[in-house]
Amino acid sequence: MNAMTGSWLRVGDINDIPRRGARCVKHGDMTIAVFRTHDDRVYALEDKCPHRNGPLSQGIVHDGCVTCPLHNWVISLETGRATGADEGATTTYPVRLDGTTILLSLKPAKVD
């Protein structure tokens, strides 16, 4: 059950996600990966690496970034952009915490 709070959807509790880990939220054909960093920040990105669609939710989370499991691109959780010399970006979604409840919006954050 996903209660609605305005355009924010309740998708789970922060303790459902391991620190430095991710869980998936399915929405039709699309999968959104919700990440939790070591200091309990949460981020949401489409679960698709800009390189070759690797499932970012399966990567290693470190320092505000996730390393894609397929070919090791490092994607910023904040901006969805590839870091280093790689170029590309994945869609990010607004996500926030209400206490320990994770709220997600399905309106993609603006990508410029």
| Contacting residues toward another protein, per CB under 8 A | 2, 4, 9, 11-12, 16-21, 23-28, 31, 34, 38-39, 49-55, 58-63, 67, 69-70, 72, 74, 84-89, 106
Smallest separation, CB 50 to ligand FES (Å): 7
Distant-in-sequence, close-in-space partners of 77: CB < 8 Å, separation ≥ 6:
35, 37, 41, 43, 45, 61, 64, 65, 66
93: burial class by Cβ within 10 Å (0-12, 13-18, 19+)? buried
Pattern 35-64, ligand FES, x by CB under 6 A: --------------x-xxxx----------
Q: Which of 40, 37, 48, 32 is nearest to 94 (CA)?
A: 32
Structure tokens at 79: 């901006």
Smallest separation, CB 88 to another protein (Å): 5
When the beta carbons of 89 and 97 are compared against another protein, the nearer one is 89
The site for ligand FES (CB under 6 A) is made up of 49, 51-54, 68, 70-73
